Amino acid sequence: MSASMSTSTIINEIGAALVKAQGLIENPTKSVKNDFFKSKYADLAGVIDVVRPAFTEAGIAIVQSPFTREDGKIGVCTTIVHTSGQWMSNEVSMAVDPNAKNPAQAAGSLITYLRRYSLSAFANVAQEDDDGNSLKVADKPVRKSLVQEKEVSIVVDLLQKTKTDIGKVLLHFKINSLADMDLAQFKQAVTLLESKIK
């Protein structure tokens, strides 16, 4: 995943407005159940429901535009604009798995994911969900052993048997393709998928 941010030359008024808005915002309720990962999280609508009223009161509008980069990555540009004309903008992009069973659906899911996280970052809204739970904090970088073609084939087979969208797996593990899984992720994916068959 890659991201970049830009702002208007002066940001004193939008900065003050953000302070006001963030003071009004409470974390959204985790209302959506993810059956595959057996977790709940606030969806995009839930985040917008708590962010928009506070931003509106502070004189801030939100604009989110999807785009495709030259390298094929899908991205979202989130811009917040203040009534003063000052603005802040962030672009974040990520690759869609080339082996996705339904590329259009995978791209749509990715756009929604990027919109939710970009807006949450601007609003300083905590997102503890199926994606965040996969992150581990380590004192030192650890080189992980990636799966081989055999393991990838096993996961693909299980995805087909359970009719599970590959995009959900990629987003959960924050990887661009199944070949980027490490052995621990492979075991977790197999366990979850096999439980769906039973």
| Torsion, Cα of 91, 66, 48, 81 (10° steps) | 60
Cα 66 vs. chain centroid, distance in angstroms?
14
Beta-carbon contacts of residue 141 (< 8 Å; ≥ 6 apart):
none
Residue 135's pLDDT is 32
Tell me which residues of the chain have a pLDDT lower than 50. 31-41, 129-143
Neighbours of 160 (CB within 10 A): 11
Q: What is the mean pLDDT of the chain?
A: 78
Residue 198's pLDDT is 64
5-26 pLDDT tens trace: 899 999 999 999 999 998 888 7
- Encoded tokens for 130: 């199926």
Residue 150's pLDDT is 81
C-alpha dihedral sign at 80, 82, 83, 85 = negative
Residue 183's pLDDT is 84
Q: Which of 167, 162, 168, 153 is nearest to 193 (CA)?
A: 162
- Residue 60: strand pairing partners: 82
Q: Which of 30, 196, 48 is nearest to 129 (CA)?
A: 30
Residue 3's pLDDT is 66
Q: What number of residues does the chain have?
A: 198
Quote the CA–CA distance of 150 and 158 in Å, as a whole number.
13
Q: How many domains is the chain partitioned into structurally?
A: 1
| Domain, as residue range, for 62 | 2-197
Residue 91's pLDDT is 92
